Amino acid sequence: MPIKTVYKAQVEYMQILDENGKLDEKLAKDTLTDEEVLSLYEQMTVCRQLDEVAFRLQRSGRMGTYPQNKGQEAAAAGMGFAAKKGVDWLVPCYRENLALNMHGLPYHYVLLHWMGDERGNKIPEGVYVNPIAIPIGTQMLHATGIAWAFKLRKEPRVAVTFFGDGATSEGDFHEAMNFASVMQAPVVFFCQNNQWAISVPREIQMNSETVAQKAIAYGMPTIQVDGNDLFAVYKAAKEAVERARAGGGPSFIEAVTYRLGDHTTADDARRYRDPQELEAWMGRDPILRLRKYLTGKGVWDDAKQAKLEERAKTIVQEIVKTAEGIEKPTTDDIFDFTYATLPAELERQKSTMRTSSLGQDPAQAGLRDMGTATHGHSAT
């Protein structure tokens, strides 16, 4: 019998707004209005300002380790805007501050999280987002479960999960993709391919030419887009969300972008990253690209830019003031939010602030048996 081809596949790449601010009018049709672009540009600028201030907060000892979103704002903005606030559910990684804020999470919650205050993870009622996920890849399983629940309840809602290129090398990613595909769960897998899994470049941690092609194995619609192009991200995201809401199952989007900052404030990318590569990507900055576009259309100028930057500084100052002005948590929280009914020994610890239970009952640590063994044998 002759050999025959049983399957062929391809991955499309989409760019609508290039790095010089030139728009493909045909592809941009029915995507974003000038008013929407202006609004998103302003929100991206505020998010960038928050990033810069958060960096200084960490360096001055006022906040813990922080991962900057710098350079990836268009990806978060486009996907966040395509999902329906108050209906769809966002399951983030840690570079989607803008999308979380667009869906109702106040920015000071993000700062509280990185300040080590658990109240930053207590999502307000009616805000449909998960807390920031630090473990790599675990959140994709959560998103798939949420989406499956939507399907079982026959609710026209969609779950969107964000993750980086490195997360697609995790087993959790493949389990989530397979389950979502088999169950046709309404979930959008949104990969921010920022080229680096901490200090490991994409081409070393995977042998596939694209990240998007990994979805082909699961029979899932997939596309690669210019992740610094707000229009392309929004168009692909909107199509994926609408497909999921209509019962068409999951989709995969690879947004090709770049991490302009270090992995976190605990990292120094100069040790492993070519400065020329960084310089090249700085020219593709999504915020700079949008400014060129808006200026070219005659709806933006230097005076408006200066006014926006001042407003962004004021907004971020208020965000920091709110985060740092919240009453400090009490030590009672450690006890009150761990057990439904507090055991007697922890009640004693809570009231005395002493870990005296070992002294009250040494046997619980095996000390009594150790003492018997020691005294029951003579030295030789």
pLDDT in tens, 248-301: 999 999 999 999 999 999 999 999 999 999 999 999 999 999 999 999 999 999
Q: Mean of the pLDDT values across residues 28-50?
A: 97
pTM of the model: 0.90
Question: Which residue has better confidence, 180 or 379?
Answer: 180
Element (H, E) at 280: helix 275-282
Query: pLDDT tier at 328 (50, 70, 90 boundaries)?
Result: confident
What digits encode the pLDDT tens for the residues 223-260? 999 999 999 999 999 999 999 999 999 999 999 999 99
Query: pLDDT tier at 333 (50, 70, 90 boundaries)?
Result: confident
Asked if residue 380 has pLDDT above 50, the reply is no
Q: Mean of the pLDDT values across residues 321-337?
A: 90
Q: Mean of the pLDDT values across residues 301-311?
A: 98
13-325 homologous superfamily: Thiamin diphosphate (ThDP)-binding fold, Pyr/PP domains (3.40.50.970)
Return the pLDDT at 379.
42
Return the pLDDT at 9.
95
The whole-chain average pLDDT of the chain stands at: 93
Q: Mean of the pLDDT values across residues 327-345?
A: 87
Contacts 24+ apart (CB under 8 A), 58-62: 58/114, 58/265, 59/265, 62/115, 62/324
Instruction: List the catalytic residue out of 263, 284, 289, 291.
Output: 263
Cα(85)–Cα(255) distance, integer angstroms = 21
Task: Measure CA of the first residue to CA of the last residue in the chain; give whole Å.
Answer: 82
Query: pLDDT tier at 164 (50, 70, 90 boundaries)?
Result: very high
Query: Does residue 263 have an active-site annotation?
Result: yes
Answer yes or no: are the C-beta atoms of 190 and 237 closer than 8 Å: yes
Instruction: List the catalytic residue out of 13, 59, 272, 368.
Output: 272
Cα(191)–Cα(197) distance, integer angstroms = 12
Query: Does residue 348 have an active-site annotation?
Result: no
Query: Does residue 128 have an active-site annotation?
Result: no
Instruction: List the catalytic residue out of 259, 284, 289, 291.
Output: 259
DSSP-derived 3-state class of residue 37: helix
Query: pLDDT tier at 361 (50, 70, 90 boundaries)?
Result: low
Burial of 274 per CB tally in 10 Å (0-12, 13-18, 19+): exposed
Q: Mean of the pLDDT values across residues 34-41?
A: 98
Query: pLDDT tier at 378 (50, 70, 90 boundaries)?
Result: very low
Return the pLDDT at 367.
54
Instruction: Tokens for 140, please give them.
Output: 């994709």
Asked if residue 128 has pLDDT above 60, the reply is yes
Asked if residue 375 has pLDDT above 50, the reply is no
Q: Mean of the pLDDT values across residues 116-140?
A: 95
CA distances from 269 to 164, 215, 285, 356 (A): 17, 30, 18, 46
Return the pLDDT at 273.
95
DSSP strands (E only) in 96-171: 159-164
Q: Read off the DSSP letter of residue 123.
A: P
Asked if residue 214 has pLDDT above 70, the reply is yes
Domain residue extents for the chain: 13-325, 332-375
Going by C-alpha positions, the residue among 6, 46, 136 that lies closest to residue 320 is 46
Q: Read off the DSSP letter of residue 273.
A: S
DSSP-derived 3-state class of residue 200: strand
Query: pLDDT tier at 368 (50, 70, 90 boundaries)?
Result: low
